[in-house]
Amino acid sequence: MSSSFVYASVRTPFGRFNGALADTRADDLAATALKGLLDRSPGLDPGLVDDVFWGNANGAGEDNRNVGRMAVLLAGMPVSVTATTVNRLCGSSLDAAMMAARMIEAGDAEIAIAGGVESMTRAPWVLPKPSRRFPAGDVTAVSTTLGWRLVNERMPAEWTASLGECNEQLREKFSISRERQDEFGARSHRLAAEAWAKGFYDDLVVPVPGADLVQDESIRAGTSLEALAKLKPAFRPDGTITAGNCSPLNDGASAVLLGSASAAATIGRDPVARIAGRGWAALVPQQFGYAPVEAAGDALERAGITWDDIGAVELNEAFAVQSIACVDAWLKLGLRDAELVNAKGGAIAIGHPLGASGGRILGTLAARLVESGERWGVAAICIGVGQGLAVVLENVA
């Protein structure tokens, strides 16, 4: 087996729900990220890309009918370039990158692109097909923006609780206070704002044509603990999870260029990181937020290293409570400092457009390793319905 490498990554700015990207279709967001990635490597003939793997969680609206292939065509790539769309909910684009890496390592491809997209603003309402013609009663339209829909009646009720309720249960399990969650949320906004101000994201983000947005729209640079403490619980009257300590609804896309070692000459640039290990895990659905712990452990084992070796972590912050639970577990397993996690901010501030987040954290991790000179890093993400994914990167820049 040969190795696979990350050569480049980009993403769009992440827009707020009903925000600056609300008028942009999901397939156009995907094409923007894909074209932006190719523009980063002008020496690469797009026709030499062997395959495109594209993540998307909803897929019920303008992102239907294989949005990966739509992105290839809309980005102006040759019609001969193939593409597939991957749905592992929040982990879709990280899963896409893992699939692309496996294809390269197996020798079936030299160059592949992975990415993902979500327009949560434009996710449509859907209707189930009737069991017979012309039913007399009313029919309810169901939003496809987030969470369970059209649930099978045989599914146990505890498995189909809302994402917020699941994390309130996780908070009870690990005794994580509202104060810790608010501190984590405030940190995310502070670090994301600082990273943008210092130019870290300038080369990682491409603008969306026709949209007046140059930075992530959900970041609130002045967020304080006092302001967060005033927010009301969102899921339980006596709960601790608020709009300030969990990720918002967002629109955006991300893309990552992967290749073999020998692909450097064709791409016209050197790789920045090696895909050193991959991990995946599943728990009972209501504990999905904790699944990155086991997934990351498996990825580290496959890479042949331990938490003691890790110099950077990108964990998708779906909720502060699940992020804290994961970080606490990793510290017990040997992670040397909690400040290594999301040092450039996370999804609570930057946003979480479901299908795009895995590509974002992978690209950010590679850039952090280059900036810091650290050798090893982990990108990990929790996934609704009880799953988690993780990738270990080795800095080769």
The answer to whether 166 is a known catalytic residue is no
The answer to whether 90 is a known catalytic residue is yes
Q: Are 359 and 258 in contact (CB under 8 A)?
A: no
Q: Which of 166, 189, 246, 352 is catalytic?
A: 352
Give the H or E element holding residue 303. Answer: helix 291-303
Cα distance between residue 61 and residue 10, in whole Å: 24
What is the 3-state secondary structure of 2-56?
CCCEEEEEEECCCEECCCCCCCCCHHHHHHHHHHHHHHCCCCCCHHHCCEEEEEC
Q: How far is CA 128 from CA 141, 204, 310, 369, in A?
A: 8, 40, 47, 47
Q: Which of 90, 166, 246, 326 is catalytic?
A: 90
Q: Which of 166, 246, 326, 382 is catalytic?
A: 382
Cα distance between residue 137 and residue 19, in whole Å: 36
Closest CA to 328 of 177, 124, 127: 177
Strands (E), 298-354: 310-315
The answer to whether 382 is a known catalytic residue is yes
Token pair of 357, please? 């987040």
Q: Are 395 and 369 in contact (CB under 8 A)?
A: yes
Question: Which residues are the active-site residues?
Answer: 90, 352, 382
